[in-house]
Amino acid sequence: MGSLGDWPEPVVCVQSLSESGDLVIPDQYVKPPLERPSLCFTDINIPVIDLAGLVTSRETTMKQISEACREWGFFQLVNHGVRAELVDGAREIWREFFHEPMEVKQKYANSPKTYEGFGSRLGVEKGAILDWNDYYYLNYLSLSHTNWPSQPPSLREVMEEYSNEILRLGAVLLKIFSINLGLKEDHLHNAFGGRDVGACLRANFYPKCPQPDLTLGLSSHSDPGGMTFLLPDEQVCGLQIRKNNQWITVKPTHHAIIVNIGDQLQVLSNTIYKSVEHRVIVNPDKERVSLAYFYNPKNNLLIQPISELVTSETPALYPPMTFDEYRRFIRTKGPHGKLQVESLKSPR
Ligand SMILES: O=C(O)CCC(=O)C(=O)O
């Protein structure tokens, strides 16, 4: 295992492998047979929730959100109030970035210390099997320095506008989650650090892959933070979530924002809300772009099951830990195909 100082091996940009025209992917991307993608022919989709229902049929909408958090850990929000042009623009500006010449992107090459910038691997385990994905990672809130790419020129402005909208939406959802859990409406807002919530972004680029049945765009993982707002590529499916041991392919709804519960909300709710494993499959004919906005608790606050949710029948399942400590704990490993928060569970 390498340290968090540098990558253990030279990093290869996946886009350049894709563009080489080679019909065989390098061995480092070939997953063990049990981790390879399976085609799944089900019509099941994650719940689609109309947020406008909060005004017109509040009780029903609150109940739909509660069930989605408890049973799915994932839902798509429509009528969320973010302009359709901004939803498209925030994702498409990253597509433009990934199509910049390699020299432009390489100026932002990242290291595993903060992950900020342009990268092509997660985790520092030497000899690890890698994912078919390039990405750009940005620390956005609560840290003094954000490494914005200078191209395309409007990227920062678009992302700042999008971020303001997501912060608004995040605050609305934390209020709903608190009420649904039987807590005071500002409970989760305070548990996340009030106005000091953290946020980071990962723009994902999954180039065309000549052998999509052998690899994954992103290995199975749960999100370490509070909750994630995902803009999927509407033209190319790829996101799969694990439900009852089956992989379900998410069918994106036009201009919806996908929300998923992260590990910190699973800990705070003492597993009433589920942080669910998900992964990404790749495509032989089409590239795919997605934008994940991670809405997180403040770095140095202790996160632990909320005392009102702990009873003699439902004892606290997790020890207290700051988000910063948790992130360091999982960053050495990269996505590992299991629910990372499970390894924290207190012995009982
Ligand atoms: O590309 C996707 O649809 C999912 C991305 C994701 O899970 C992540 O960035 O953590």
The pLDDT tens digits for 112-123 are 988 899 999 988
Q: In Å, how far are 162, 204, 206, 281 from 287, measured between CA atoms?
A: 23, 11, 6, 11
Query: Is 9 a domain residue?
Result: no
Mean pLDDT of the chain: 93
Domain of 25: which CATH number? 2.60.120.330
Query: Is 330 a domain residue?
Result: yes
The residue whose CA has the least distance to atom 6 of ligand 1 is 292
Q: Are 25 and 214 in contact (CB under 8 A)?
A: yes
pLDDT for res 180: 98
Supply angle C-alpha 193, 113, 32, rounded to 5: 105
The residue whose CA has the least distance to atom 5 of ligand 1 is 292
Residues 6+ apart with CB under 8 A from 342: none
User: Which atom of ligand 1 is nearest the CA belonging to 278?
Assistant: 7
The answer on pLDDT for 229 being more than 80 is yes
Least confident of 89-93, 120-124, 154-158, 260-264: 120-124
Query: Is 252 a domain residue?
Result: yes
Query: Is 42 a domain residue?
Result: yes
User: Which atom of ligand 1 is nearest the CA belonging to 223?
Assistant: 10
When pLDDT is averaged across residues 201-222 and rounded to a whole number, the result is 97
Token pair of 339, please?
């629910």
Tell whether ligand 1 has an atom less than 6 A from the beta carbon of residue 278.
yes
Token pair of 177, please?
């989650």
Q: In Å, how far are 104, 107, 164, 172, 287 from 199, measured between CA atoms?
A: 25, 23, 11, 16, 26
When pLDDT is averaged across residues 47-64 and rounded to a whole number, the result is 98
Instruction: Render the burial of 37-52: b for 16+ CB within 10 Å, e for the rest.
Output: beeeeeeeebeebbbe
pLDDT for res 24: 98
**Binning pLDDT at 50, 70 and 90, where does residue 43 land?**
confident
Query: Is 326 a domain residue?
Result: yes
pLDDT for res 3: 53
pLDDT for res 18: 97
d(CA 47, CA 61): 12
Domain housing 55: 14-342
pLDDT for res 331: 67
pLDDT tens sequence across 280-308: 999 999 999 999 999 999 999 999 999 99
CA of 308 to the centre of ligand 1 (A): 32
User: Which atom of ligand 1 is nearest the CA belonging to 279?
Assistant: 7
When pLDDT is averaged across residues 205-227 and rounded to a whole number, the result is 97
pLDDT for res 208: 98
**Binning pLDDT at 50, 70 and 90, where does residue 333 land?**
low
User: C-alpha 267: how far from its chain's center?
Assistant: 17
Least confident of 66-75, 217-226, 320-329: 320-329
Tell whether ligand 1 has an atom less than 6 A from the beta carbon of residue 218.
yes
**Binning pLDDT at 50, 70 and 90, where does residue 338 land?**
very low
User: Which atom of ligand 1 is nearest the CA belonging to 290?
Assistant: 1
Query: Is 347 a domain residue?
Result: no
2 vs 168, residue with greater confidence: 168
pLDDT tens sequence across 264-283: 999 999 999 999 999 999 99
Mutate to test the pocket of ligand 1, among 204, 235, 287, 330 (most ligand atoms within 8 A of CB): 204
Above pLDDT 90, what percent of the chain? 84
Tell whether ligand 1 has an atom less than 6 A from the beta carbon of residue 220.
no
Q: Are 263 and 64 in contact (CB under 8 A)?
A: no
Number of folded domains that form the chain: 1
Query: Is 4 a domain residue?
Result: no
CA of 311 to the centre of ligand 1 (A): 35
Tell whether ligand 1 has an atom less than 6 A from the beta carbon of residue 49.
no
Query: Is 174 a domain residue?
Result: yes
pLDDT for res 147: 86
Q: What is the CA radius of gyration of the chain?
A: 19
Tell whether ligand 1 has an atom less than 6 A from the beta carbon of residue 173.
no
For the chain, count helices (H), then strands (E).
9, 14
pLDDT for res 334: 53
pLDDT for res 40: 66
